Amino acid sequence: MNDDSVSEPEKPPSSVVISVPLVQKDSEQRSIQQQPEVILIQAPKFNHPARTISSIVTFLAIFVFLISFFSFGSSSGGFSHLEFGFQSCCFLFNVAFILEIVYYGNLITHNNTYGEDNTWPTLNLFLALVLAGIGLLIFLTNFF
């Protein structure tokens, strides 16, 4: 099998070395020496819309929960409001967890591309997966 057929994506360098002749005269040698000049290239800041949407959905879930909780005793159908609020809240939190999974998956890809550390994004991705699994289990067992 040819080694050229299997290609792995190359990491872009975190810095680029450019050789620029700098004149340095030694008292003994009287010569011109070249010294490399290092220019650091910073990775672009990671920004993904899933984080913003996740925050909005989380706020909406808390809002729905509070509205349904405080309207529980105000009418004869209060229990149905409370049940609907809990179902909606649980569903919205699951949507937020899934959006967090998308965010951290893309963050890990970004960090791999630019050679950055993935310890915390991987831990957060695992936590979001666990919370989404628990939320899905609660949603399916209690509301269906």
Q: Is the pTM of this model over 0.85?
A: no
Q: How far, in Å, CA of 118 to CA of 107, rounded?
A: 8
Give yes or no for residue 15 having a pLDDT over 60.
no
Q: Is 6 left (phi over 0), alpha (psi -120 to 50) or beta?
A: beta
Q: Where are the domains of the chain?
A: 3-40, 49-143
Query: What is the rounded CA–CA span in Å between residue 130 and residue 136?
Result: 10
pLDDT digit string, tens, across residues 26-61: 556 555 566 667 777 777 899 999 999 999 999 999
Reported as a single tens digit per residue, the pLDDT across 99-141 is 999 999 999 999 999 889 999 999 999 999 999 999 999 888 8
Give the three-state DSSP class for 112: helix
